[in-house]
Amino acid sequence: MILVLIINLAELFLYFCQVDTKKKINFKDAMKKVLLLQPPVSFEEKAFALVPNCPHLGLLYLASSLIKEGFDPKYLDVSDNSLSLSEIKRVIEDERIDIIGITAMTQNVKGAIQLAKFLKENNCYAKIILGGPHLSADPNLIKRFPYFDAAIIGESEISFPKVVNDLLDEKKFEEAVKGETPLDLDVLSPPARHLVDHSIYLKRGYWANGIFATRGCPYHCNFCSIPAIDKRVRFRSPELIVEEMKECCRLTGIKRFNFSDDALTIRKELVYLLCERILKLPFRIEWEAQSRINYIDRDLLKVMKRAGCSKLLFGIESGNERIRNQIIGKGVTDEQIMKVTRLCWQQGIEPDHYLMIGQPTETSKEISDTVNCSLKFKPNIIGVFITMPLPGFPLFDSAIEEGTIDKNVIDKYIRGEYGQGYQGCWPYYVPKGLTLNELLKARKLAYHKFYFRLSYALKRIKRDFTSMVRIKRNIREGLSLMIKNRSSDDFNVVE
């Protein structure tokens, strides 16, 4: 009798244990873990690496949308090759990650494929989703490299949690899903910056909090892949932007901001309202933004300066109007550039100019217009790039059509047939009748003509001699120009 009672009690105990374990499992189910990862250019060798010195805001926006839906996202940036393929697998297993979301631009899509392939070939149980600018421009990638369980094209805050749920329900995806673009940006939670260990970025020279006030761009420049993501222009409310700024300052202690919008000033009323709000902050901030020459005027600059704007970045692209407007599609004249650059200086805002060399039908004479234009436009600094036609750029399709680049360039790049790096591996656009060497020489000349002037050096010394940070930047800049023949401001990245 006693034995029967003990057995029954034991059974009862086991039953409750089971229920308890089940409960625990259910609880875990509700908090599925999603690892959001930014890969390096390549895992195979530490290539000439473009390592961003700022967190990936796209992944952090996705993390916020996952948190809202009850998931437990983690953020991992291995763009600096800080973890090997097997170390990442170990992290996935140790942390019991259910789903991995990998982001990729074209430059690091090779790293994304290498990782997914490794995980699949080594029986990693976690499901893998791909997204980001490359996939958006090349959705068939996942058929050519079938190591992903799903992929989402375009902005994905709305669709990502749904796809994650579908994968957890064992749904199979045959092709990439078109993400639903958030038309009202105010419904999105700000990027989940609390998931980031900011000390990593501080070591890489993090100097300003990245932030967005808008998304999209109505233009169609031939070297830009924004339309592949989504070109519809949308705006956030100034109140929410300023709230996010406060939170950034609290988290990072940095009171500098970098508006990463394609053209912040596209709607002037928004900028006025934003500046009004910024001026009401209990502390002063400093900020810079990318803009477009045709969206700037004196009154706007005045207000922006008062609200802490110290620098504006303009894509000038070419010193030649035919190339700039008829080929690239920029739609701004030399006269407008000169006027706006002068206005910026007058209001105490530094105007930085970005130029590119290598466009269809571009001649040596037109390239020398670009080499010399900064002496005429008088910007603060210049960055000169040799054009790389990337997937998503209208130029990419036309370059393939005209045979300037190989139609299998993406797959050859991914398979490492050009080497493991990005810069120097992905082909440049070399206009017919010219050579890459000529383009490189032109870039060197543009830098030398602009930077190696006594008047320029004196101006910078006068401006910067009281700031140790600026002195250090100037030394880095000078060394980069002398040794590498390019500006250290070419990339806002660590090498």
Select the binding partner of residue 492 from ligand B12, ligand SF4, none (C-beta < 5 to 8 A, by kind). ligand B12
Select the binding partner of residue 155 from ligand B12, ligand SF4, none (C-beta < 5 to 8 A, by kind). ligand B12
The one-character DSSP state at 56 is: -
**DSSP secondary structure, 189-240, as one string:** PPP-GGGS-HHHHHHTT--SEEE-SEE--S---TT--HHHH----EE--HHH
Q: Name the minimum Å distance from CB 280 to ligand B12.
A: 26
Residue 370 found at the interface with ligand B12 (CB under 6 A): no
The one-character DSSP state at 491 is: S
Complex with ligand SF4: residue 127 or 292, whichever CB lies closer = 292
Residue 264 found at the interface with ligand SF4 (CB under 6 A): no
**DSSP secondary structure, 388-414, as one string:** ---TTSHHHHHHHHTTSS-TTHHHHHH
Binding ligand B12 (rule: CB under 6 A), the pick from 42, 64, 81, 103 is 103
Backbone φ/ψ region at 300: left (φ over 0), alpha (ψ -120 to 50), beta = alpha
Q: Are 148 and 130 in contact (CB under 8 A)?
A: yes
What are the distances in angstroms from CA 369 to CA 331, 350, 373, 376?
A: 17, 23, 6, 10
Distance from C-alpha of 274 to C-alpha of 279, rounded to nearest angstrom: 9
Residue 337 found at the interface with ligand SF4 (CB under 6 A): no
Complex with ligand SF4: residue 262 or 288, whichever CB lies closer = 262
Q: Tell me which amino acid residue 78 is.
A: V
Select the binding partner of residue 242 from ligand SF4, ligand B12, none (C-beta < 5 to 8 A, by kind). none
Select the binding partner of residue 264 from ligand SF4, ligand B12, none (C-beta < 5 to 8 A, by kind). none
Residue 383 found at the interface with ligand B12 (CB under 6 A): no
How many residues at the interface with ligand SF4, by CB under 6 A?
Answer: 10
Residue 418 found at the interface with ligand B12 (CB under 6 A): no
Q: Which contiguous run of DSSP H or E holds residue 317?
A: strand 309-317
Binding ligand B12 (rule: CB under 6 A), the pick from 244, 262, 288, 369 is 262
Residue 160 found at the interface with ligand B12 (CB under 6 A): yes
- Residue 210 tokens read as 């990245």
The 3-42 site mask, x for binding ligand B12 (CB under 6 A), equals ----------------------------------------
Inter-axis angle of helices 468-484 and 454-464, to 10 degrees? 150
Q: Name the minimum Å distance from CB 215 to ligand SF4.
A: 11
Binding ligand SF4 (rule: CB under 6 A), the pick from 224, 248, 332, 356 is 224
156 in helix, strand or coil? coil
The 177-216 site mask, x for binding ligand B12 (CB under 6 A), equals ----------------------------------------
Q: Pick from 389, 380, 387: which is nearest to 487 by CA?
A: 380
Dmax over CA atoms of the chain, in Å, equals 105
If one counts every other C-beta atom within 10 angstroms of the C-beta of residue 7, the result is: 10
If one counts every other C-beta atom within 10 angstroms of the C-beta of residue 41, the result is: 26
403: Cβ–Cβ under 8 A, 6 or more apart, which residues?
none
Binding ligand B12 (rule: CB under 6 A), the pick from 39, 111, 133, 308 is 133
Select the binding partner of residue 315 from ligand B12, ligand SF4, none (C-beta < 5 to 8 A, by kind). ligand SF4
The 279-308 site mask, x for binding ligand SF4 (CB under 6 A), equals -------------x----------------
Residue 106 found at the interface with ligand B12 (CB under 6 A): yes
Distance from C-alpha of 54 to C-alpha of 406, rounded to nearest angstrom: 33
364: Cβ–Cβ under 8 A, 6 or more apart, which residues?
434, 438
Complex with ligand SF4: residue 292 or 486, whichever CB lies closer = 292
Binding ligand SF4 (rule: CB under 6 A), the pick from 149, 157, 262, 352 is 262
Per the DSSP assignment, residues forming a β-bridge with 472 are none
- 225-244: contacts with ligand SF4 (CB under 6 A): 226
Complex with ligand SF4: residue 141 or 224, whichever CB lies closer = 224
**What residues line the site for ligand B12 (CB under 6 A)?**
50, 52, 54, 56-59, 61-62, 79, 101-103, 105-108, 129-134, 136-137, 152, 155-157, 160, 224-226, 229, 260, 262, 390-392, 491-493
**What residues line the site for ligand SF4 (CB under 6 A)?**
217, 219-221, 224, 226, 262-263, 292, 315
